[in-house]
Amino acid sequence: MGRSWKDVKAEKESIDLANGRDVDAARADARDRTDAHILGYRLAELRKRAKLTQQDLAARIGVRRLPGPTEPA
């Protein structure tokens, strides 16, 4: 039988700590990225339900698209 997920996570954390990785900071960063992804998804769902395009919503809340790295500023 294989190892449990709990055992795999504990081993990974042990290796990370031994290599000097700030496990708590890494978890917080991962949580922040996940929260941002969820917020973006929810915003998109609400926008679609209101039958607004991204451009329509941006205009309503007063923001504009920033130029990409290959576009003039």
Q: Give a yes or no: residue 38 inside a domain.
A: yes
Low-confidence residues of the chain: pLDDT under 70: 73
Q: Structural domain of residue 18, as residue ranges?
A: 5-61
Per-residue confidence (pLDDT) for residue 40, from 0 to 100: 97
According to the model, what pLDDT value does residue 69 have?
Answer: 86
On whether residue 68 sits in a domain, the answer given is no
Note the pLDDT of residue 66: 81
Q: Total structural domains in the chain?
A: 1
Q: Looking at the domain assignment, is residue 53 inside a domain? A: yes
Residue 12: inside a domain:
yes
Considering the domain boundaries, does residue 73 fall inside one? no
In a domain, 72, yes or no: no
pTM, two decimals, is 0.66
Tell me the three-class secondary structure of the chain, residue by residue.
CCCCHHHHHHHHHHHHHHCCCCHHHHHHHHHHHHHHHHHHHHHHHHHHHCCCCHHHHHHHHCCCCCCCCCCCC
